Amino acid sequence: MRLMRWVNITLILIALILVINIFWPVDGITGHLSYVIDPSEAECYFVNDGKQSVLPMDLCCFELQQQAECIIADTQTLGIKCYNAEQSSRFYLANNKALNYCLNEGYDVKVG
């Protein structure tokens, strides 16, 4: 009986937290947590005909949001590829840390 009371009180508290979250959501908890936990450095490159150039993060975020689409690429460390034309030889590569940084800063990066 005591265990059931404890379970019921716990469920009521969880339900209360969920109801509060509906009216006052805490934005970006999950994204921010994954950003903090990720030990890697944010990396972003512009690739033009096979030549990679390092981009500073503020320019990277601005350019990523200007692209038509960003996809999860098959590269090992730079998992995000952003482009305006899929077959173009000019595109951007970024890792998850860079993408999360841009999203946390409010850039509208179109990940699909």
- For the stretch 61-76, pLDDT in tens is 999 999 999 998 765 6
Lookup result for tokens 């179109």: 110
| Residue range 83-99: mean pLDDT, rounded | 91
Ramachandran bin of 67, using left for φ above 0, alpha for ψ from -120 to 50, beta for the remaining angles:
beta
Q: What percent of the chain has pLDDT over 70?
A: 86
User: φ and ψ at 84, to 5 degrees?
Assistant: -95, -35
pLDDT band at 90 (very low <50, low <70, confident <90, very high): very high
Write down the pTM of the prediction.
0.68
* Other beta carbons less than 10 A from residue 70's beta carbon: 21
pLDDT band at 28 (very low <50, low <70, confident <90, very high): low
Distance between CA atoms of residues 24 and 33, nearest Å: 19
The kind and range of the H/E element at 105 are none
Of 75, 74, 71, nearest in space to 112 by CA: 71
pLDDT of res. 62: 94
pLDDT of res. 26: 63
Q: Where are the alpha helices (DSSP H) in 24-54?
A: 29-37
More confident call, 72 vs 81: 81
pLDDT of res. 29: 57
Distance between CA atoms of residues 8 and 18, nearest Å: 15
